[in-house]
Amino acid sequence: MFTGIVEERGEITARDDLTEAARFRIRGALVTSDASFGDSIAVNGVCLTVTELADDEFTVDVMAETLKRSSLDRLGAGATVNLERAMAAGGRFGGHIVQGHVDGVGEIRAVSPSENWTVARVAVPAHLARYVVEKGSITIDGISLTVSAVGVDREYGDWLEVSLIPTTLAETNLGDAAPGVRVNLEVDVIAKYVERLTGAGRTANADVEGSEPNE
């Protein structure tokens, strides 16, 4: 489990495309400082397993299903990624419950900077919009954020807005965000469990292709 508090910005140093998979080598001095083979590290919000370690780099294998459901398929050597180690049992809970299971990919539609913060508007896939509420939690590229506004219009369809403070802009890849950039979205897992338990989502989920959770 993760909390959506990004620990460092890493860099993809190599990508190898395999049969129905891809292998990434990623530089991240902090997250590798105490990492071991088999540990979980969230890369842009995707929970991945460490398969190799060398100096300050680690290697992960990403299966085709995960590539299809996330924005990792578009990344290659030189790309900057948000990194977070799995939460320690006695650690401080700083964000919200993040599983590292991406629910869908959104697209940044607008970035509006101001003196003290920046507002980013993100298009949300229609089947995820029902889980997004104003003042609720959302994970964008592995970052725990508070939804500041939601809406729908002809241009964007369903959208949400988040307000990004200078620290978030400086310490995560959202500082480089621009319209057209695709981002990984993970909605609040509690909302999904409530929907399942009440039976409200059974019909809706049956109509969504690939609605089963990813790795």
Domain at 23, CATH number: 2.40.30.20
CA distance 59 to 80: 15
Mean pLDDT of 31-47: 96
CA distance 140 to 123: 12
Final residue before a domain boundary, out of 55, 85, 115 = 85
44 sits in the region (left: phi over 0; alpha: psi -120 to 50; else beta) called: left
Q: What is the pLDDT of residue 214?
A: 53
Q: What is the pLDDT of residue 190?
A: 86
Residue 69 is part of which domain span? Answer: 8-85
- pLDDT, tens only, 80-118: 999 999 987 776 777 788 889 999 999 999 999 988 899
Q: What is the pLDDT of residue 206?
A: 54
Q: What is the pLDDT of residue 88?
A: 76
Final residue before a domain boundary, out of 54, 85, 116 = 85
Percent of the chain with pLDDT over 70: 91
**Does 210 reside within a domain?**
no
Q: Specify the 3-state DSSP secondary structure of 159.
A: strand
- Indicate if 158 and 131 belong to the same structural domain: yes
